[in-house]
Chains A and B, each alone.
Chain A
Amino acid sequence: MTESNYDEIMTLLCDRLSSLTNSNVQITSETNLISQLSIDSIKLLNLIMEIEDTFDVSIPINALTDIQTVRELADLVHKIKSAS
């Protein structure tokens, strides 16, 4: 897994999040998924499923409990992808 993959993950996340939330919040790596974007759990799970298919990984649901920001989510996907 290379840096470009990490960037790819980050770009996809930001794109999908901005279309999901329709809000004016500028999405950056430090945006908080819950407090700033108020994404509900169903939307978040759908997004996770899309990411799983795009990067061909499974993200354990218990790993998600620690995720607050876009960067943390990207780091998690990157870590799982690198290990696979």
Chain B
Amino acid sequence: MNLLEKLDAAAAARKALLPDGVGAFGIPIEEVYSATEARIGDRRVLLLGTNNYLGLTFAPECIRAAHEAIDKEGTGTTGSRMANGSYFGHRALEREFADFYQCSSSIVFTTGYQANLGTISGLVGPGDTVLIDGDSHASIYDGCILSGADIIRFKHNDMADMEKRLRRLGDRVETTLIIAEGIYSMLGDQAPLAEIVKLKNTYGGTLLLDEAHSLGVLGETGQGLVEKTGLLQEVDFITGTFSKSLCSIGGYCVSNHPQLEQLRYVSHPYIFTASPSPATIASTRAALELLRKGSHLRKQLWRNCTQLYAQLKEAGYTLGPDPGPVIAAMLDTPQQALLLWQNLLEHNIYVNLILPPAAPEGKSLVRCSVNAAHTTEQIQYVGDTFAKLHSLVCE
């Protein structure tokens, strides 16, 4: 099989799952009306599959800041952070992230994906070890592969399995980076951070927590799981993204270890890419300010999460263990998931479809992401529609 034939074989496998004409992946959004509504084809749909957790995509403060930055600094930096791409805004945003997490060091990356790639591959290398949760995001896996370190996984959120693997490492634990996520993107469940910290303190190792989905969502000021659990000081490195609750693109790493600064000189995903555009940085700074004082948004978000989680549970769907902004209905077969997804779209509801092998344990997922801008009526309608479709899909 040559290279192109291999792609043809992969395309055939995909088409066997998804018949032609079903555009579940990369669905064309024609117009965006608000944080909760858009046009797909000729339908006005409710958006239940975005990561816009605080509903800030149209926040006037962020839009104004982005406009001003474009006018003053142009559309792009056209260069790396290492060369000509570190403007005042990039450095200011780093100071603001350090202040937000009460940390000494902070680095801004061009995407959250690169924040993980750059941080992991900057911290560990060949001969070192990464101990990661089996359900880790692809950016964590890719960062580990890029690093050349030995990759050892523990079963998702299984602390007995994690302990066993820490014990087996023996002295190698000294050069081991443990990685977990604040909220896992597939099922929306949270890492048992207190237990992870306890094991880390017993056996040793360095701990990195990816707060991509928990930033702005957990904790009084929105720091994430570290704030909810009061364990900020116990986590060595925190990474995260601007692409979810901050409604732009980019990523960060913060730490109290001054050595984080050295990553600027060794980390390829930081160096060999252009820095975020001035408008991106400006809207992110404005959004971070709104996020920090956004406890009313978090309250509304959690009200919506709890309502939808309860409605789907009541309707008989199998869900992840924790209610939260990511609510995934687990289905046994890809066909069931596809049927549910298509029917929801026919009811003008857009959610995410996740098929094996992307979903854990061979399941297929229909995943909702709830945000603070959804109204109670919108959530009620989504819950009612799921309930109406349950017998069609599950029986």
Contacts and interface: CB of A to CB of B under 8 A. Distances in A.
A2 interface: no
Interface stretch (B77-85, B90-98, B144-152): B144-152
Interface of A: 41-42, 56-63, 84
B67 interface: no
A56 B362 contact: no
Contacts of B72: none
A84 B173 CA distance: 12
A42 B151 contact: no
A58 B168 contact: yes
Interface of A is mostly: loop
Interface residues of B, number: 13
B235 to A, nearest CB: 23
Interface of B: 129, 144-145, 150-153, 165, 168-170, 357, 362
15 contacts: A42-B362, A56-B168, A58-B152, A58-B165, A59-B152, A60-B150, A60-B151, A60-B152, A61-B152, A62-B144, A62-B145, A62-B150, A62-B151, A84-B168, A84-B170
Nearest to A42: B362
Nearest to B169: A58
B378 to A, nearest CB: 38
A22 B112 CA distance: 45
A61 B153 contact: yes
A41 B152 CA distance: 16
Contacts of B151: 60-62
Contacts of A84: 168, 170
A61 B149 CA distance: 10
B125 to A, nearest CB: 13
